[in-house]
Homo-oligomer: A and B are copies of this chain.
């Protein structure tokens, strides 16, 4: 019996997983990582406490599974035709997500959880790898068009757009509005044009 749910993943098992992940997300968004315990999750999900402990074991383990679930729901990138437009669209998408009360708190909680366990950290990294790879092509295309220096690290440019937004969310604080998003996108474009991301 390795990995409960791997042999009979259909029907009830899938319903239980969905209910548990949903409850976990709710609690994380409302109360934060520190107040998450599996007993509470089981109660909210209307699922047996034993089931939750058996399948996920620890809080960080549950968050890791939540992250792989989140990674599966990736949105397609924008295609505005220009580098500025695409990156600004990305910045605003990230900004709206982080500024949304539920989503923002969820991300903060998930990142906090990733702080505590390598397994969860890896799940988080995979999540961002997915997102970055989804958006990197718009930078690649700009390089092909000659808008950016050859050898520019496309993925690094995409990360540079998100970084200031996450920095505000997690560390330094400050407003997370559309102006912040646009500034992040503009700064990334300007730095990329100047060759700051050439490998």
Nearest to A156 among chain B residues (CB) is B183
How far, in angstroms, from A188 to B187 measured CA to CA in the complex? 8
Surface stretch bound by B, among A7-15, A38-46, A113-121:
A113-121
Q: Which of B113, B163, B193 interacts with A164 by CB under 8 Å?
A: B163
The interface bits of chain A over 156-199 (1 if a CB of B lies within 8 angstroms of the residue's CB, else 0) are 10011011101100111110000000010011101101111100
Could you tell me if A112 and B33 are in contact, using CB atoms closer than 8 angstroms? yes
Chain B neighbourhood of A115, CB < 8 A = 32-34, 108-109, 111-112, 170
Chain B residue at minimal CB-CB distance from A185:
B196
Size of the A side of the interface (Cβ < 8 Å), in residues, is: 46
Identify which of A49-57, A75-83, A85-93, A124-132 touches chain B: A124-132
Q: Is the CB of B167 within 8 A of A163?
A: yes
Q: Which of B129, B159, B160, B166 contacts A170 (CB 8 A)?
A: B166
Q: Does A95 contact B (CB under 8 A)?
A: no
Nearest B residue to A124 via CB reads B171
Q: When the two chains form the complex, which single residue of B114, B117, B160, B172 contacts A128, counting CB atoms closer than 8 Å?
A: B172
Contact indicator B186/A190 (Cβ below 8 Å): no
Q: Given A125-B173, A132-B172, A194 and B196 touching (CB < 8 A)?
A: no
**Residue of A31, A112, A173 with most chain B CB atoms under a 10 A cut-off:** A112
Is A186 in contact with B193, judged by CB distance below 8 angstroms? Answer: no
Contact B183 A187 (CB under 8 A): no
Interface flags for A23-34 (1: CB within 8 Å of B; 0: not) read 000000001111
User: Which chain B residue has the least Cβ–Cβ distance from A180?
Assistant: B156
Known: A32-B115, A34-B116. 5 other contacts (CB 8 A): A33-B116, A34-B59, A34-B113, A109-B115, A124-B171
A-B contact pairs, 13 of them (CB 8 A): A32-B116, A33-B33, A34-B59, A34-B113, A109-B115, A128-B173, A132-B172, A162-B171, A166-B166, A183-B196, A186-B191, A187-B196, A190-B193
